[in-house]
Structure 1
């Protein structure tokens, strides 16, 4: 499964720029939409008919944390089966608990080395096995 339409929900502009550069380094045809507000992101998802193939979600966000976002996301018809990757610089127990609670959610720790970022994103985005469905 190669994901071609990605939604990144992250309020850190440096992280979003690095994410975009990393993905572009291995596939410039992938479309990345960025939302820096989880509440606005959910509102837009409710109003659209063109859903992303996969969502990368920063856990620590203003207004809604990753857990709250996931609970609300899974209530939206058509979005229940979209793969979600918790993408966070922290690897605390709260994040791991969320990933365990939502069995179809994968956790990916943000890396500091650009090559590591590219490799970890590529392994998910270009994977032959879908995260969930």
Structure 2
């Protein structure tokens, strides 16, 4: 298994609950934590209260968008190497720019269908091959 400790930064409870259910269905040994505030997630990451192997980031957060989060995260010593998956319903210009601009960033479209989300997450979490960029 490639990732054993996952952080989801997402302010929509339904999306977060579905994400955690899917991760548990993939492998119940994977530890997944959720932060509903991008700023709070950055604070905890900076203070080493969180140490994920990978971060799934809702790009359209209320308190800080995905690009802002990535800029701040990449300035925190020791966290530059954490892979980020921008997790969004849209795949617009801003997302494409972020995936291109920042290293170790990929994109995953939010899926309402459990099976489709399961398959997409399984490829990222279990597989050694990276997902396609947008």
Aligned length: 131
1:56 aligned to 2:56? yes
Counterparts of residues 39-50 of structure 1 (less than 5 Å): 39-48=39-48
Find the residue that maps to 2:28 and give its secondary structure.
coil
Residues 64/50 of structure 1: CA separation in 2 closer, same or farther (3 Å cut): closer
What is the CA–CA distance in structure 2 between the aligned matches of 1:103 and 1:38, rounded to whole Å? 19
Residues 88-112 of structure 1: CA deviation (Å, up to 9, x unaligned) = 1111111111111113200111112
Q: What does residue 111 of structure 1 align with?
A: 111
1:125 aligned to 2:121? no
What is the CA–CA distance in structure 2 between the aligned matches of 1:129 and 1:91, rounded to whole Å? 21
Q: What does residue 70 of structure 1 align with?
A: 70
Structure 2 alignment gaps of length 5 or more: none
1:102 aligned to 2:102? yes
1:50: how far off? 5.3
1:127: how far off? 1.3
Moved over 2 A (4+): none
Residues 36/50 of structure 1: CA separation in 2 closer, same or farther (3 Å cut): closer
1:2: how far off? 1.3
What is the CA–CA distance in structure 2 between the aligned matches of 1:129 and 1:13, rounded to whole Å? 29
Q: Once superposed, what is the RMSD of the aligned Cα atoms?
A: 1.4
What is the CA–CA distance in structure 2 between the aligned matches of 1:114 and 1:50, rounded to whole Å? 27
